[in-house]
Amino acid sequence: MMIRKLAIVALAALFFASTAEAKQKHVELEAKAELEVEVVNEDGEKTIQRVPAVKVMPGEVVVYTITARNVGEEPATNVVITDPVPEHMDYTGSVTGDGARVTFSVDGGKTYDVASALTVPVGGGSKPAPPEDYTHIRWTFNDALEPGSAHSVEFRARLQ
Amino acid sequence: MLQLNMKWIASAVLVLALVVSADVVLADGTQAGTVVLNTALVDYDVNGTGQTQESASEDFTVDRKIDLTVAVNHVAYVQTSPSSTTAILRFTVENTSNDALGFALSAVDEAAATVEPTLTGTDEVNAITFAIYEDVNGDGLLDGGDTQDYIDTLAIDATTDVIIVAEIPAAAAITFGDNLMLSALAQAAESGTLGATLVTASGADAQDVEDTEFIDASGDTVAGTDAVDDAIHSDMWAFVIQGADITVTKTATLFSGSYYIPGSVVEYTITVANGAGVEDATNVDLVDTVPANTTFVGGTLTVGGVAQSEGTSGDDFGDFNVSTAGAVSALNMTVATGTSTDVVFRVTID
């Protein structure tokens, strides 16, 4: 029994060592989908709590949180997170991206610009793009992501 | 002025934007069970060198919202008459869920004090029998293809017609009404039969499982059977019993001669009137015996201003001394609501 366990540990160590050599991963990404629910505490105060997106019906707003974590030993620079707005969802116009420049695409990720500069064609001309027309959201980090540190960005989208 | 115009244009553009965006979203939302996947990507450099892109995904499964609307398909209450076996109330059932559903249909004869909609009349009549059908071809009538007591399947956003066919008692009093309430209970969609009862999620729940949630409003709650979030919706409507409202008046005028003395001719006008706002009266029969000591003057009988062949019954409305001895008869007349028909004839005083 003991011997078998040891063998597994040794195998696992070998495996990790080999992958680390072949492809060094410095930044890990994590995505979460959550709902915001109003909770009344014992003092009768209402607070907003986030719960996993378990019950999602049309019209529900989902908070997506994407976290980049530097698991390497060198600073990661020019960090750019890109998130296509999921199919069946409409971006609501609510985005959080402290320490990052947030740009959007309305053409399926071909071009990105700040929200105020985005237009979509209407008739012969164009009009400001409504948030639900956004196809991609991009966060370009201002600063390097230092080893051991993590940075999260968020956006909200409504289920069609 | 220019400023005003600009403002107007700006608001027009805004309205257009709202309209366009509203079009994007389906009325009742994404189909239940759809897996909505979000994938985020990260690109970065280390020591000035581009690294392999990393990604992370998270999905959830769209839950099934159960919502429905039962609505009456009349604007005024429905007129019917005593003894009618085909009194019909029309409703619609709309599936406002994000999944195809079936519906169990039921109806109750409500004993509400007033008829619905609240106009005149009270609910003092009870239908002898009533039955509920999905009016498959939507013609408002009971046909062979109509299914009784259920709708097997109704697509997302779809609406179908439902009828209640009732039998009204012969003794039903005119102007009184009868409220009937239709309820639809959402079921699983099936083909050709009523589907299974729906069950909402309880206890353990997961992000990647399609759950069922009832989010319907309460409908007419006279019976207290239709609360919110119970997969039931209902609406009540009324029959109002309308018969015809026939009145008969008879006047006599001297047609020839100065006095009511032997040899003078008297013209009788019998007016058969039907009241306004009631049913048309059909098969109205009038029989008036010519008074004693007078003699019918041949060729003077008119019905509605039209001369009648007096010697034969059934060829037109009127006859004399054929269908009833010694009497003027006007048979099988139709008197529409709000109209009257005059039956006129003359007699000579013996």
Q: Which residue segments constitute the domains of chain B, with CATH numbers given?
A: 64-241 (2.60.40.10), 246-349 (2.60.40.740)
Count of alpha carbons within 13 Å of B337, Cβ hemisphere only? Answer: 9
Contact with chain B for residue A86, Cβ under 8 A: yes
Lowest mean pLDDT among A127-131, B177-181, B269-273: B177-181
Q: Residue B138 pLDDT more than 80? A: yes
How does pLDDT run across B11-37, given as a tens digit for each residue?
444 433 333 333 344 567 899 999 999
Q: Phi and psi of B5, rounded to 5°? A: -60, -45
Task: Give the C-alpha separation, A24 to B302, whole Å.
Answer: 111
Domains delineated in chain A: 25-159 (2.60.40.1170)
Please check whether residue B264 is in contact with residue B254, taking contact to mean a CB–CB distance below 8 angstroms. yes
A57 to B62: CB separation less than 8 angstroms, yes or no: yes
Alpha helix stretches (DSSP H) within chain B:
2-24
Of A26, A74, A130, the CB nearest to B21: A130
Cβ partners under 8 Å of residue B122, min gap 6: B113, B114, B115, B176, B177
Residues in chain A: 160
Three-class SS state of B45: strand
Please check whether residue B150 is in contact with residue B103, taking contact to mean a CB–CB distance below 8 angstroms. yes
- Note the pLDDT of residue B116: 67
Task: Give the C-alpha separation, B104 to B230, whole Å.
Answer: 13
Here the tokens at position B168 are 């009204």
Q: Residue B6 pLDDT more than 60? A: no
- Note the pLDDT of residue B19: 37
> How would you classify residue B193: left for phi > 0, otherwise alpha for psi between -120 and 50, otherwise beta?
beta
Cβ partners under 8 Å of residue B138, min gap 6: B160, B161
Q: In this structure, which amino acid lies at residue A153?
A: V
Q: Phi and psi of A3, rounded to 5°? A: -65, -40
* pLDDT tier, B243 (very low <50, low <70, confident <90, very high otherwise): confident
Between B307 and B118, the higher pLDDT residue:
B307
Q: In this structure, which amino acid lies at residue B305?
A: G
What's the mean per-residue pLDDT of chain B?
86
- Note the pLDDT of residue B281: 87
Residues of A in contact with B212 (CB under 8 A): none
Contact with chain B for residue A46, Cβ under 8 A: no
Task: Give the C-alpha separation, A97 to A138, whole Å.
Answer: 10
The interface pTM score, or ipTM, of the predicted complex is 0.81
CA distance B99 to chain A (A): 11
Distance of CA B41 to the CA centre of its chain: 57
Pairing, β A61-70 against β B265-274: unpaired
CA distance A33 to chain B (A): 7
Alpha helix stretches (DSSP H) within chain A:
2-22
Q: Is residue A124 classed exposed, middle or buried when 0-12, 13-18 and 19+ CB atoms within 10 A define those classes?
A: exposed
Pairing, β B294-296 against β B302-303: unpaired
CA distance A94 to chain B (A): 16
Task: Give the C-alpha separation, B163 to A148, whole Å.
Answer: 69
